[in-house]
Structure 1
Amino acid sequence: MRRTFAVAMEEKKNHRKIIHIDMDAFYASVEQRDNPLYRGKAIAVGGSPEGRGGVVATASYEARKFGVRSAMPSKRAQQLCPELIFVRPRFDVYKEASRHIREIFARYTDLVEPLSLDEAYLDVTTDKQGIGSAIEIAKLIKEAIRSELQLTASAGVSINKFVAKIASDLNKPDGLTFIGPSAIAAFMEQLPVEKFYGVGKVTADKMKKMGLYTGADLKKLSEQELKNYFGKTGTFYYQIVRGIDDREVQPHRETKSLGAEDTFPYDLTVVDDMHEELEKIARTVHTRLQRYNLKGRTITLKIKYSDFRQITRNQSFPHPVGDIETILRTAKQLLAATGPEDKKIRLLGITLSNFGDTVLHTDKPNNPGQLSLFDFEG
């Protein structure tokens, strides 16, 4: 009995203490904080009801009650919420608030992995102030954000990144959820598949058609069966449904890619219209590359059709490129290779990647999937 207790204590001691902090409707909350006229109102940052192809970057919680969501076309958002107020993004203000938030994180640990301006992982296994409790540190961070920035954040606390991220989303806004080692197995089993981070709508629908509705259902399948159904991602599902996630919190992550895309309010069927939209997207990408002082060796074109089928095509260069002429010319060539005539295109996107030695270590947002402010700039 003593030996079993000792082993259990050793395992407990070896667990990481991970916090995932996610600001609550960050951009919209900053606007409501700074403008009393927006408080208690349904607002959307980014987009415009008159804008062609504009989409919502962030919606306030008042707007979310009507079904308004990030990445939703502006016209659809206004249909759902006729009183919706569209607010132009203020990049500098959001970045300054993010910088302040990271200063708060740094009071407790240097192991901070930013995912975007408003989201980060913290490893507080050994914290600077010797507090020892990840839950207490999460409370102190939330209190500091509230008192110093007049904003709220939600926190998830667990022994790995995957569970901590899911936990932070359970009690929004202004939530704090702890999922300890002994609770992970039961928690993952009852979790609906669509709540698994990394499982999108298409995959979730596929799972449900297979009779897989919860983590418990996924857990019944062997790793090989999951790989047969979902490819190499099957191994990820096999591990994560068992609460296994050995990824470390990685500060100073390198930018992997940077791009922009646009969803159109109607299907594009004329090549000239597609070229016109590609030019707008290319200019946005060029601006962002300049902002982060980046050039890439690979240009990728993303296309989504009216039937929601999605493809990507890319071209690599022997040297980094970043000029708008090369970006636009390459995007048009990649589009032409897909035979766009008479196709119905709902979305176009351009991304640069393979930065190599041109990447700068920076405290700016570095996960392209999380660069929501810039991705949805109208």
Structure 2
Amino acid sequence: MSGEATILHADLDAFYASVEQRDDPRLRGRPVIVGGGVVLACSYEAKARGVRSAMGGRQARRLCPEAIVVPPRMAAYTAASRAVFEIFRHTTPLVEGLSIDEAFLDVGGLRRLVGPPAGIAAELRERVRRQVGLPITVGVARTKFLAKVASGVAKPDGLLVVEPDRELAFLHPLPVERLWGVGPVTAGRLRERGLRTVGQVARLDEPALVSLLGGGAGRHLHALAHNRDPRAVQVGRRRSSMGAQHALAREPHSPAELDAVLAGLVDRVTGRMRDARRTGRTVTLRLRFADYTRATRSHTLDKPTAQTAPLRAAARALLRAALPLIEQRGVTLLGVSVGNLDGGHTQLTLPFTAEPGPALDAAVDAVRDRFGSRALTRGVLLGRDPGVEMPRLPD
């Protein structure tokens, strides 16, 4: 690992709400809530009134009656994300996307060509603001963990560089919740022992943390409390599944509210799948209950797809089946993933059957002209490859 702070964690601020404020000048400077039944996102003006993502809509409106509630526009958010990631990739080829609105970037090899990491981060922020019209916060550090912590501390719309000689001085005064993997249950256990800051955790030896939290969690937190994180920025990793999740407030949620969250998650996942030219067959619903226990439910489709409708239908069926359990135990997190991903074929749909001859040859040429020549064959158009569907041809 480099001895210099060369890893950037770039995180768009209140992403969905910022896109809404960018696109509608009347919303700028005002509290904005995206999503009605459940808060999918909110502007910093709404956060200042206590509104939080995953909060129920009624509670959010009680906290901030003057908030403007807008429906989510996933296509707009996807387009903005693509534009920002183009800037990331223009900055460095070493980009590891974490979600639609955040990524790690490794700029360690750019000092001679471009300048120091702090200057690269400042230029990246300026380009995102100028070209995409959105605020973005960047943390810069020697490790991925600390870069992400730095961006969280610097929000909103900030830049924070943690130099190697002051890493622990920056990290140790922070609350234990800043450590990856410390949720309410783990934080409660630590606080019961009087451990409220990262520095207090760091002063415990590893066996003591293992005794308190278990082997994996104890070793993990001991390493992070000393900023030991050897992971490199990973580019082009081939995933076996793609997913998204959304935390929910502990209050009861209606089936309609949960369905709205689920639909947004499926939209997000299928958009990423199409961008990556991946298709999948197995839909998995992930649930975290109010007592912090978890459950998963899965369904495998007959054939792989990246289209939203069939995957959303499968996810909704899983959610409907789980509703009695949710009603009994409450739910604090909803997640969706699609697994059994293929090797990278794009799913397509053919609205006609064709026979060999000039008409079929013309159809092949038309499809290739529009979608490229990668793997369109007469056999596919004739339906001899049942695992691939073709695009609708232009009129």
- TM-score higher than 0.5: yes
Moved more, 198-207 or 249-258: 249-258
- Give secondary structure in 2 for the equivalent of 1:93: helix
Determine the C-alpha separation between the residues in 1 that align with 2:92 and 2:7: 11
User: What is aligned with 1:60?
Assistant: 43
Q: Which amino acid in the other structure matches residue 38 of structure 2? A: V
Instruction: Give the alignment of 1:88-167 within 5 angstroms.
Output: 88-127=71-110, 130-167=113-150
Aligned mate of 1:74, from 44, 52, 57:
57
How many angstroms does 1:280 deviate by? 7.2
Q: Which amino acid aligns with 2:217?
A: T
SS of residue in 2 equivalent to 1:120? strand
Q: Following the alignment from structure 1 to structure 2, what is the Cα–Cα distance between the partners of residues 78 and 218?
A: 38
Deviation track 1:297-348 (CA, whole Å, cap 9, x = no partner) reads 463442524xx44321445869877756765666666x49xx8498243457
1:160 maps to a residue whose letter is T
Aligned pairs for 1:171-210 within 5 A: 171-210=154-193
Q: 1:108 to 1:285 in 2, by over 3 A?
A: closer
Give the counterpart of 2:226 among 229, 242, 248.
Answer: 242
Q: Conserved in 1, the CA contact under 8 Å of 2:38 and 2:261?
A: no
Partner of residue 284, structure 2: 299
Checking the alignment, whether the CA contact within 8 Å between 2:32 and 2:43 is kept in structure 1 is yes
Comparing 215-224 with 343-352, greater Cα deviation is found at: 343-352
1:162 shift after superposition:
0.6
Check 1:349–1:117 CA distance in 2 against 1; reply closer, same or farther (3 A cut).
Answer: closer
Local SS of the residue matching 1:151: coil
Cα–Cα, structure 1 residues 178 and 263, in superposed 2: closer, same or farther, change >3 Å?
Answer: closer
- Structure 2 matches for 1:260-271, cutoff 5 A? 267=252
C-alpha distance in 2, partners of 1:159/1:89?
Answer: 36
Amino acid at match of 2:234: Q
| Conserved? CA contact 2:41–2:53, under 8 Å | yes
Matched, 1:252 2:236: yes
Of the candidates 213, 218, 222, which is equivalent to residue 230 of structure 1? 213
8 Å CA contact 1:259, 1:350 repeated in 2:
yes
| C-alpha distance in structure 1 between counterparts of 2:326 and 2:76, whole Å | 43
Residue number in structure 2 paired with 1:29: 18
Q: Secondary structure at the match of 1:169?
A: helix
Question: Runs of 5+ in structure 2 lacking a partner?
Answer: 347-395
Taking structure 2 as the reference length, the TM-score comes to 0.73
Aligned pair count reads 334
**CA displacement, residues 168-222 of structure 1 (integer Å, 9 cap, x when unaligned):** 1223222111111111122222111022233222221221111111112111222
In the TM superposition, 1:339-350 aligns within 5 A as 340=325, 343-346=328-331, 349=334
Moved more, 64-73 or 226-235: 226-235
Match of 2:389 in 1: none
The structure with the larger Rg is 2
- Is the 8 Å Cα contact of residues 55 and 249 (structure 2) preserved in structure 1? no
Q: Is residue 27 of structure 2 the alignment partner of residue 43 of structure 1?
A: no
Q: CA RMSD in A?
A: 3.4
